[in-house]
Structure 1
Amino acid sequence: MTTIKAAVCREFNAPLTIEEIELRAPQMGEVQVDVEAVAICHSDISFWQGGFGGALPAVYGHEAAGRVSAVGPGVQGVAVGDSVCVTLIRACGTCRCCGEGKPTICETPYDASHGPLTLSDGTPVYHGLATAGFAEKVVVDQSQVVTIPDSIGMDVASLLSCGVITGVGAAVNAAGVKPGDDVVVIGAGGVGLNAIQGAAIAGARRIVAVDMTEEKLAAAREFGATDGVLATEAKPFREVHKLLGRGADAVLVTVGAVPAYDQAPRYLANGGKVVMVGMPHFGQNATYSPLLMADAGQSIIGTKMGDCVIKRDIPWMVDMYQQGRLKLDELVSNRWRLDEINEAIADTMGGAARRNVILM
């Protein structure tokens, strides 16, 4: 067992506490990573708020990057000293979904209540999002990591572990945006900006950002949006129809807000699709008209982590970044220490930050 510092959640919606806890050594197929950077994602906040359930005490954080410091038996393709992104995508490789190339929805359950973390008295610590990245070190399954060049900064590399692959993948993989398509992205936060980048890379004709403030719409244009519409307008979907001359081929909802989901189908053209990216809290439900959507040949699809295959997609995105075709540095709003994590969470909840990154 190794003693590490971690930000521990003892009570939902209460400040995290920096504590010394115990981390066991990696077992069969597992990798230990010394975390150098971990970004704060809204999914971490939703877990901390109790919106996604889970046991306590817990350690959250899943958008991490660092260096491999130990490997368990049977590990292949990664070695001590490698720089890696650490994701929540834990895939068995043998279930039907994994066999069909869909590791983000692996069907093999993972018991996060009995992971590699314990308190000093042996009490299990919930292994949040199968990662527990708000800590000095993590032990994760080898399927959750992908090697990256040493030349890429760990702060920007951490963003590839969730926010970037989720947004870019939602456009490229889930929505299947193709050249000439018209795309609406609802929400111009961290994930939304990456969805915009993904739509631009895929060759979309028009990319319309919808958000609550002019500042967010200006940021969206920096990342490739061709147009912006304020969500505060009485019927923003009508403005989008005017801009496009029709509805959108794909509407990517990147915020976990039910009102955004309620309105999303109204932006669509015939044959268009709503792509569910942002995740409201459990029990919050949206409504839509099956009659109208079926009559127009429209659809709603879900996507988790951008339907990415990390060992295929993260190296591609790293290369795009190195070529200057994918913005990463511009996504980092602020850098914080681990002992400042509560302030970083509060800043993230304020809505202005693209991504706040904890540097160890």
Structure 2
Amino acid sequence: MKAAVCRAFGAPLVIEDVVLRPPEMGEVQVRVGAVAICHSDLGYLDGNWHSDLPAVYGHEVAGRVEALGDGVIGYAVGDPVVVTMIRACGQCRPCVQGKPFLCGARVDRRRGVLTTAAGEVVEQGLDTAGFAEAVTVHVSQIAKVPEDVPVELAALLACGVITGTGAAINTAQVTPGSSCVVIGAGGVGLNAIQGARLAGASRIIAVDLSDEKLEAARGFGATDVLRADIKGLRRAVLALTEGQGADYVFVTVGVISAYQGAPALAAKGGMVVMVGMPPSGAKMEVEPVIVAATAQTLTGSFMGSTVVQRDIPYLVEMWRQGRLQLEELVSKRYAFSEINEAIADARAGASRRNVIVMDP
């Protein structure tokens, strides 16, 4: 099969023939129908996080099951599915506690799921390797979706949508009538706004450097928008929250200055939710006495605290009811042969989600 292989960080991907091994116990093989470009993919392609080359990245995938390994139940060949990077063993402490997104089982991404025609091992990036015509993944990583969900929209549910909506609904557990600040109005930020809206927040303040993104944020549910570079950002947030600050502040960008300023936007007893992923080694400073005196909570949110088989069907239902926007998240569709163009456009920063739609 064909895959877009990363052979040098920062360099264009090379579409070449690779060998995908058949599914083993507890695994499924999925024919890729669409794969979206996520900011995390860009980070790996740039070498911001540890990875061994050659590798195939891409982790926002949707397609159809085309083969089942031994022991797989509940799925049949031909089923339309979303493929996520959330692999769960079902037996470790986080899994038993209902937190499969924190599964402690370590999997060698160079275990031979992918190899070149010459036998060279290719890393299965993010346990998925979705920039390819097919993937072999653990059954815990997939969720069925109805036939009427377009494959390019289903792919969005694999990461960006669950990460943003889940940060609000699952991690923060936003309460009705509360106030939220969302720093960053990109793909994940827009979904955090949608999650806050679904949870019943009464005031949702989007913060970004781009006027275009702020205008888009209104369409996704932001009640107010603020430029991130204005003088007196904290005063502006206080003015919109009856002088209290926001009950929840979501940082959806991997920018340390955004993290640094987030606690000042939160109310006493408020929560700062860390969603965006800075490069490895980046650090922020926190003054503990202020956090203690204001009883604020600083918490991380990984993959929206998502339980794949629970949350993806819920989000599909929200989409069907017209309460969750998906089509509006797609900036542009590309052919697989145009993957480097799609990545370059995503790097430019204006796109929400660029989606590769595979040939039928």
TM-score category (smaller protein): over 0.9
Cα deviations by residue, 1:232-275 (Å, 9 ceiling, x for unpaired): 11332221111112201111111111111111111010001111
Aligned match for 2:134, one of 128, 134, 137: 137
1: CA distance, partners of 2:339 / 2:253: 22
Match of 1:307 in 2: 305
Supply the AA of the counterpart residue of 1:112. Answer: R
Cα deviations by residue, 1:35-70 (Å, 9 ceiling, x for unpaired): 000000001110111111110000000000000000
| Matched residue SS, 1:348 | helix
Match of 1:26 in 2: 23
- 8 Å contact 2:251–2:272 — kept in the other structure? yes
1: CA distance, partners of 2:284 / 2:107: 28
Match of 2:118 in 1: 121
1: CA distance, partners of 2:340 / 2:287: 41
Q: Which runs of 5+ in 2 are unaligned?
A: none
Provide the TM-score with structure 2 as the length reference: 0.98
Cα deviations by residue, 1:146-195 (Å, 9 ceiling, x for unpaired): 00001110000000011111100000000110011110000001110010
Match of 1:281 in 2: 279
2: CA distance, partners of 1:225 / 1:115: 45
| Matched residue SS, 2:76 | coil
- 2:68 maps to 1:77: no
Aligned match for 1:38, one of 35, 58, 69: 35
2: CA distance, partners of 1:105 / 1:336: 33
Match of 1:170 in 2: 167
Q: What is the Cα deviation at residue 115 of structure 1?
A: 4.0
Match of 2:83 in 1: 86
| Matched residue SS, 1:112 | coil
- 8 Å contact 2:182–2:193 — kept in the other structure? yes
Match of 1:343 in 2: 341
2: CA distance, partners of 1:294 / 1:173: 24
1: CA distance, partners of 2:6 / 2:231: 40
Aligned match for 2:94, one of 93, 97, 113: 97
- 2:221 maps to 1:224: yes
Instruction: Single out whichever of 346-355 and 34-43 deviates more from structure 2.
Output: 346-355
| Matched residue SS, 1:122 | coil
2: CA distance, partners of 1:282 / 1:234: 30
| Matched residue SS, 2:110 | helix
Q: Report the aligned-residue RMSD.
A: 0.7
| Matched residue SS, 1:114 | coil
- 2:204 maps to 1:207: yes
- 8 Å contact 2:2–2:18 — kept in the other structure? yes
1: CA distance, partners of 2:230 / 2:347: 23
Match of 1:158 in 2: 155
Cα deviations by residue, 1:203-251 (Å, 9 ceiling, x for unpaired): 1010000000111111000000000000011332221111112201111
| Matched residue SS, 1:168 | helix
2: CA distance, partners of 1:286 / 1:17: 37
Q: Which runs of 5+ in 1 are unaligned?
A: none
Supply the AA of the counterpart residue of 2:312. Answer: I
- 8 Å contact 2:21–2:112 — kept in the other structure? no
Cα deviations by residue, 1:282-318 (Å, 9 ceiling, x for unpaired): 0111112111011100011011110010100000100
2: CA distance, partners of 1:295 / 1:263: 17
2: CA distance, partners of 1:168 / 1:115: 34
- 2:58 maps to 1:54: no
Supply the AA of the counterpart residue of 1:299. Answer: T
Supply the AA of the counterpart residue of 2:310. Answer: R
Match of 1:253 in 2: 251
Match of 1:359 in 2: 357
Supply the AA of the counterpart residue of 2:347. Answer: M
| Matched residue SS, 2:276 | coil
Q: What is the Cα deviation at residue 106 of structure 1?
A: 0.2
- 8 Å contact 2:332–2:353 — kept in the other structure? yes
1: CA distance, partners of 2:37 / 2:235: 34
* Paired-residue identity, %: 57
Deviation >4 Å, runs of 4+: none
Match of 2:236 in 1: 239
